[in-house]
Chain A
Amino acid sequence: DAGVIQSPRHEVTEMGQEVTLRCKPISGHNSLFWYRQTMMRGLELLIYFNNNVPIDDSGMPEDRFSAKMPNASFSTLKIQPSEPRDSAVYFCASGGDRGREKLFFGSGTQLSVL
């Protein structure tokens, strides 16, 4: 199993540009989570999906952020327009339903908005 795959690993963009982060969860996992990591706030939960359906998006900071999961093997997090304060590491993680199932993280996307 390749694990959770995120792309790109690094993204540098200019303020106002659209940014799309991608995630492929582990096959068979039915829950997918998007987190943002900053020094000040640690790991913030932005949104999570169960069986491709968004369950809780209360962590999405603004309307500039949107996330989709069109099928069980792919999800995107989009920021439009991007701002310098969006600079952070964005993680995708997936997990299963079974009792002790742990959360599996991707390697993260380091986003820098200039």
Chain B
Amino acid sequence: AQTVTQSQPEMSVQEAETVTLSCTYDTSESDYYLFWYKQPPSRQMILVIRQEAYKQQNATENRFSVNFQKAAKSFSLKISDSQLGDAAMYFCAYRSRRPSGTYKYIFGTGTRLKVLA
């Protein structure tokens, strides 16, 4: 069974600095998707970035980028120029991609990011 591990329950970063959140996963599949979701205090779940496993190029969305290491099964999120609005819980997620058309998302336990002014 697939598992997702986020080993950092909490992280802090100074405003305008860079922070990296870690995520590792375990799977025997070769084709899958990886995601980072942000959950602010409002409880809303917001997609930050996604990566398709067959793509070697790391995904980037403005100040957010990932370091995808497929062999190591690692998928870290880098936030550059951190802003106060980045403070939230961040979840790493794995989605299997099955020919049958069914799939499921597995989430990690989350990392709470604090941004210090």
Contact = CB atoms under 8 A, between A and B. Distances in A.
B43 A103 contact: no
A97 interface: yes
Interface stretch (B11-19, B65-73, B74-82, B102-110): B102-110
A45 B4 CA distance: 12
Interface size range of chain B in the complex:
20 to 34
B25 interface: no
B50 interface: yes
Interface size range of chain A in the complex:
20 to 34
Nearest to B95: A103
B102 A102 contact: no
B44 A107 contact: yes
A45 B104 contact: yes
A50 B6 CA distance: 28
Interface string B41-60: 00111010010100000000
Interface of A: 31, 33, 35, 40-45, 48, 50, 55-56, 89, 91, 93, 95, 97, 99-100, 102-103, 105, 107-108
Interface of B: 6, 33, 35, 43-45, 47, 50, 52, 91, 93, 95, 97, 101-110
